[in-house]
Amino acid sequence: MRPAIAHTRLFSYLVTRPTGRTVRTNVERQIAAAGRTVLAVLDLRHVPLIDFSCADEIVAKLVLLASDPSTRRRFVLFRGIAEHHLEPIESALRRQGLAAAAESADGQPLLMGALDAGTVAVWREIWVLGRTRASPLADRLDLPVERVRGVLDDLVTRALVIRDGDRYVSLGRALRDAGPPPDEEREDL
């Protein structure tokens, strides 16, 4: 399964709730326009400041939207996360018991929010592998396959990993498989 990719690059200070609402609304519009399973990619590389209200309005609400089981599958990947982004984003996510998949400013995988260390370890391994089944992953981590399958299913429910048949796919791999974004699919805000 290859999701549609909706790219958004952000280029401003994100310091008020109305600004955050505007950004989120535009991203939601892109997601709805895809008409199928979609991976929304928000690039924060050029955002010098995101405050707590914008982190809540953009990050937390988009993560809630992605993990809503009543809708078609939606996934969100935040890219370009710098040290100064972490405190407001982590706070917004933890306050609501949420988690978000991300890449740091230097391209390293980053799982932000409320998750235990075991879940983070499984997620990181999937990120490295790109695509895997539960059994080989359990072997790599030296864990029981049923435990790993349970963690993987939770990651899918939380929209942090894509399920493709009996395989699990990292959001990073899904993005790489899609190739570079055509200009018409990318929106700058």
Query: pTM of the full predicted structure?
Result: 0.89
The answer for 4, left when phi > 0, alpha when psi is -120 to 50, beta otherwise, is beta
Q: What is the pLDDT along the chain (189 residues), one digit of tens a residue?
A: 789 898 898 878 888 889 999 999 999 998 888 878 899 999 999 999 999 999 999 999 999 999 888 777 899 999 999 999 999 999 999 999 999 999 999 999 999 998 999 999 999 999 999 999 999 999 999 999 999 999 999 999 999 999 999 999 999 999 999 877 655 444 555
